[in-house]
Structure 1
């Protein structure tokens, strides 16, 4: 566990980011690992949907842990898990759930600040306490802010520079709580990404929605690039397309 966790930590190099093409089950984990991935990361939407549950902690925690256990035992590289909001609100239960994630074989997790099943984001000080509870487990904590993503989902400008101040305030608070990297899904403007990377006290993770501009994104200073649910979307779209082609010929 410690060796895998250390190896995962060492992959986070600003300007030379680790690329995490997100997976959702043992089959996808083995496929991506066999392609040469140095580490794996689940996507919450992908993993939940593959088991028949909606995103947003719709999958029961015990089933998530079982999936992680199966994935981590099937590969010999580090596995990070999209832990959403940790399946709890209070720090005591968060710490317990994070330890269960470690026991299942994970070396890291994404941990977000939006209120699952509610509105808005957890206040900064409260979220910092929540981050600290997850950090106690020894996981590499990729502390996520949904400031930008919520704008994107609402059909608004996710690259709004007016969000930068609060985003960096959250980055500093999460760093103070012991987080190891800072995840800003939704941001796509390279100049804004570069500014976040330059000012963040933590290595920065961004999400890509395509396979373009990877080198330019790396040059902006990010330490981690992931693809979230998109590999799942693309795989399912291809499966559907090929099935339609088959059955329309019958």
Structure 2
């Protein structure tokens, strides 16, 4: 496996390449090895929601950090591609959490702002960037703003776009290479945020039945699209469908592959 600095640089280069980076979120070693072994996959991201669910915890930093890091470290050790970790909101100390994540081989990560006061959110971004610099790597921070996640159902959409751009610009100025805006799915709103942040600076999550295809996001100037908890839900949906068929007197689906 390449050294940390090389993996970090590879991950950063993938975010700045002309073609969009598609990151599938994984939650354990077998999901990681299956995804990493799929042709065309160049990097992985972990999903905190999915890892927490694997151990029976609710999302939102309810899984102990030690347990979370242990699983992420196992994932890193099992694959030969760069791994980005969902850091949630940093577990109370974003810089220290990233330092520990780097120790297990992580070279990038998401960090939620949870719509905290902007100066606090920027300070957390700066702490992450500093932790990467202290470790001698270009840690690829995907600075997340929850402008859309925390918005009221009747919120003015134009104001949400403006706030996402305002916070995103501050995160970029603080050293984050890209900004993550979950629940941003409308084509015109995506275009407006790209215009505000610059091409190759915005990352999104693909939402089943709502998001644009990756090729169209690339045309709009989006740098990266990931899958969050939805890949685990895809797997669990297939599992439940198979069980339903068996209980009804059927059999497991044809074409099932020995991927483990």
- Relative to structure 1, the CA distance from residue 56 to residue 40 in structure 2 (aligned partners, 3 Å threshold; closer, same or farther) is same
Structure 2 residue runs without a partner (length 5+)? 133-138, 251-260
Contact 1:208 1:225 in 2 (8 A): yes
1:20 partnered with 2:20: no
- Relative to structure 1, the CA distance from residue 4 to residue 45 in structure 2 (aligned partners, 3 Å threshold; closer, same or farther) is same
1:213 deviates by: 2.2
- Please, what TM-score do these two structures have when normalized by structure 2? 0.86
1:162 deviates by: 1.6
Q: For 1:42 and 1:159, how far apart are their aligned partners in 2?
A: 32
- Relative to structure 1, the CA distance from residue 76 to residue 146 in structure 2 (aligned partners, 3 Å threshold; closer, same or farther) is same
Counterpart residue number, 1:216: 216
Query: How many correspondences in the alignment?
Result: 237
Counterpart residue number, 2:180: 183
Counterpart residue number, 2:129: 135
1:77 partnered with 2:81: yes
Contact 1:205 1:222 in 2 (8 A): yes
Which deviates the most, 169-178 or 55-64? 169-178
Structure 1 residue runs without a partner (length 5+)? 115-120
- Relative to structure 1, the CA distance from residue 65 to residue 228 in structure 2 (aligned partners, 3 Å threshold; closer, same or farther) is same
Counterpart residue number, 2:165: 168
Contact 2:15 2:21 in 1 (8 A): yes
SS in structure 2 of the partner of residue 179 of structure 1: coil
Q: Which of 192, 201, 204 matches 1:203?
A: 201
Q: For 1:133 and 1:110, how far apart are their aligned partners in 2?
A: 13
1:61 partnered with 2:65: yes
Contact 2:111 2:144 in 1 (8 A): yes
SS in structure 1 of the partner of residue 22 of structure 2: strand
Q: For 2:28 and 2:73, how far apart are their aligned partners in 1?
A: 10
SS in structure 2 of the partner of residue 182 of structure 1: strand
Q: Once superposed, what is the RMSD of the aligned Cα atoms?
A: 1.8
Q: For 2:74 and 2:176, how far apart are their aligned partners in 1?
A: 26
- Relative to structure 1, the CA distance from residue 150 to residue 11 in structure 2 (aligned partners, 3 Å threshold; closer, same or farther) is same
SS in structure 1 of the partner of residue 148 of structure 2: helix
SS in structure 2 of the partner of residue 85 of structure 1: coil
Contact 2:185 2:212 in 1 (8 A): no
SS in structure 2 of the partner of residue 147 of structure 1: coil
Counterpart residue number, 1:118: none
Larger radius of gyration: 2
Contact 1:159 1:188 in 2 (8 A): no
Counterpart residue number, 2:232: 232
- Please, what TM-score do these two structures have when normalized by structure 1? 0.89
Q: For 2:212 and 2:36, how far apart are their aligned partners in 1?
A: 21
Counterpart residue number, 1:122: 116
Contact 2:125 2:174 in 1 (8 A): yes
- Relative to structure 1, the CA distance from residue 78 to residue 157 in structure 2 (aligned partners, 3 Å threshold; closer, same or farther) is farther
